[in-house]
Structures are given as structure tokens and as C-alpha cells.
Amino acid sequence: MKKILATFVNELQLFRKDITGMTLLFLMPLALTIIMALIQDAPFREYQDITFEILWVDRDGGRMASKMGEGLQETGQFRLVREINGRQLERGEALKLVQSGKYKICIIIPDGTSAEVVNSANQVANEFGKTLGAAGKLPQRATRSSAIEIYFDPVTKQALKLSLLNAMDKQLTKVQAEIIMGRLSDRMKGERGDTTAATDTFNLQEKMKAVSIKEMQTVTGRKVNINTNSVQHNVPAWAIFGLFFIIVPISGNMIREREEGSLTRIKLVPGSYFSILLGKVMFYVLLGILQFYVMLLAGLSILPALGLPSLYMGEAPLLLLLTTGIIALTATAYGICVGALFKTGNQALPFGAISIVILSAIGGIWVPVEILPAGLQHLATVSPLYWSLDAINSLFLRGGTLSSIFPNLTVLLSFAAFFILIAGFIETSRKG
């Protein structure tokens, strides 16, 4: 016990000699967490809460273009720009504005688009009428090729392109279906008058609401519904990253202890070297837990003040504390292992820092594991950060219990035991 206490006090004194280093140990991960949450906020919302301006050049002037424009604006995600400086927008000017990057999107409705849709609708109506033996025939001609033109700023991200293309496809299908149904109604009534009369009274969208899709929760009894956003991903992820980065001061202090001789003096106290390791582990685990909760506090207070959602921490605070302690234990054990493996700071610090970056990259800290290549998805399981983040996400978002995260905690404890055994074996066999 005396050896454990001596080691604990020794680690505390080493940190007291470097108050700046202790401060940076908290401030740098905090700054990283806040910045990454802000940067990744838009990608995690998948552009659903952002309004984009679309240069809208309607060269058709028909019902098809009008209905599509109205439908896009009704989504609230797009605003159509038809005029620039008080004058009607022309094709050439619109393309230049997009190419220069002043606007991200331009949509051009070619002349005759509405007529082509009506002609196609008449063909469908005539075929149905012929099958049903209805009298008369709506005017039709051979189908001509027609396409709505969409232009993007060359630097536009693929996610935004897909968002707009999906919205356009939905509106195009809806409008064409309404016109076809309207013309079919005309055909059955034998009317050949106004081509838009039937569509004015027929709302296909209204008729298709008999069956809807409703998002449900997998966890019963939850009081709130949390969707994954930049805060829910980045705060736990980068808090874990910062916690594992504690290997830098751990390995540095261990090497400094050997160089200054303080480790030799502690070894002279009767007892096993594993008592020294236990003293180090106790100190750094407590420090890691404190650091982790400081990051969570940022998700509860600082990020909402910057306009982001507040962090939801689940409904199992004691289980969260236990999980945090085991994650901190694993991070501490890895730092001790790195400090024991290498003889100088020039060896230990680059290896430790870069290894954590690599383990975080394959462990889902930078991007979700699901979008990594198949090979890296399998490799992710060798990263303790993967098991750490999965356990925290289970508590925060899946209503996790001890039984559900027990496999994660078991794997993390196995990592910790493995690292401690390696460090103990190396230091015990090292002379001096």
C-alpha cells in the first residue's frame, strides 16, 4: 500500500511541476471537441435544415414547371431565384453565376416540357381508354426527348447533389402522375377542352395519404427521441480521443522518472513493481474521468450556446461513470505500456500520438465505422476506441443496460490487462 501511495504522490508532483501541461491536457481536447462538432454539424444534418438558393430559369412557362417550382419551395429546403437585380434571369447569366461559385445550383426548364408531359399523359389515357372501350381519343403525337437541366457549382459536395436530385425526382414523379391521372379522367369523360381542368380538381398527393410512414423508437418508454447529430457523435467521440491521448504525459513522465532516478527510489520500497503500476493507474484513471466529464459538460452547456443541440447523456449515470472509468483504465494502461516499451521521449511520443490517431481513425472517431471499407470495418475491432465509443453510444442512444454493454467492458478490461502485463514484464526485467 505504501508503494502504491508513493507512486500516486509522485505522479501528482510531476504534474504540479508542469501546470501548463496539465491545463493543456484539458483545454486542447475541449477545443477539439467544440471545433469538430461545429465543423461537422451540417454533414450530420445531411443538409435537411439548410435552405439553398436555386437559380430557376423557366423557359417553358407551362403547368409542369409551375407545379415543380411550387413543390420545391413548399419543402422549405429550397428558395427559387428567378430574378437578378430586378430583371428576369437568363440561361447564360445563370450558368456564369454557378460556374463562378456565387450560386451552387441552377435548374433550367426547357421549352415544351409541359407539352411533352401532357402528350405522354394523353398517350397513357388513350391506351387505357382503348382497353376499356371508351369512345373518343385525346390528341397525341410521337414522343420527343426532353430533360430538365440541372447545373451544380463544380465544388458542390455529393451529399447536396443527392439531396436536390431526390427532391427533384419526387416532384417530377408527383406532377407527372397528377397530369396523367387528370388526362385519364378527361379521356373517360370524352373531354378535349382545357388540358389542365382535371388536374386542378385532382390532388394525387392527397389521395396517396391512405398509408403513411412513421418513424418509431426501438426503445420503449423513452421520454425523448434523439437523432444522431454532430453533438451526439463528436462530443463522446472526441472526448474518448482526448482521454486516450493521455498516453503522451504518461509515457513522458515514465521516461522522465527513469532518467531522473525517481523510479529507482520507488523500486527500493519493498513490494512488487505491479504496486507501482497500480499507483500510476489510480492517478491517471481519476484524471481521465475528470477530463471526460469536462468534455461532456461542454456538450451540455457550451455547444448549445453556440447554436448546436444539447448532448443527451442517457438515463444511466452510474453506469456511465463505470464505463468512463474502464475506458480511462484502458487508456492509462496503453500509456503505461508505451512508456515502458520505449527508452526515450523521441521514441515514445511520436509512436504514442500517431498510434492513437490511427486507432481513432479505424475505430469510428473520425467517421462512422459503417462507411469504412469492408477490410477496415473488420480491423476496427482491434481498436479500444471502437469498443469505447460503441459502449458510450449504447448508453446515450440505445438505452443501454449493463448486460448490453458488458461485452464492450469485457473487451476493454482485456485490453487494459494485456497492456499492464506487458509493461510490468518489461519494467520488472529491465535493469536499474
Rg of the chain in Å (alpha carbons)? 32
Q: Could you tell me whether strands 52-58 and 105-109 are parallel, antiparallel, or unpaired per DSSP bridges?
A: parallel
Q: Which of 15-24, 245-254, 299-308, 359-368 has the lowest mean pLDDT?
A: 15-24
Split at pLDDT 50, 70, 90, the class of 162 is confident
| CA 227, 230, 234, 236 torsion-angle sign | negative
How many C-beta neighbours within 10 Å does residue 243 have? 26
pTM: 0.64
Split at pLDDT 50, 70, 90, the class of 328 is very high
| Domains parsed from the chain with CATH numbers | 2-39+227-429 (no CATH), 48-207 (3.40.1710)
Tell me the per-residue pLDDT of 254-270, one tens digit each, with 9 for 90 and over.
777 777 766 566 566 56
Split at pLDDT 50, 70, 90, the class of 330 is very high
Split at pLDDT 50, 70, 90, the class of 54 is confident
The confidence score (pLDDT) of residue 196 equals: 46
18 or 131, higher pLDDT: 131
Tell me the per-residue pLDDT of 101-155, one tens digit each, with 9 for 90 and over.
788 888 888 888 888 877 877 777 777 777 766 666 777 777 777 788 888 887 6
The confidence score (pLDDT) of residue 194 equals: 45
The confidence score (pLDDT) of residue 263 equals: 59
pLDDT of residue 215 exceeding 70 = no
Taking the C-alpha atoms of residue 256 and residue 364, their distance in angstroms, rounded to an integer, is 33
Split at pLDDT 50, 70, 90, the class of 303 is confident
DSSP state of 300: I
226 or 410, higher pLDDT: 410
Give the residue from 249, 337, 339, 290 showing the smallest Cα distance to 22. Answer: 249
β-pair partners for 248: none
Q: Is 192 helix (H, G, I), strand (E, B) or coil?
A: coil
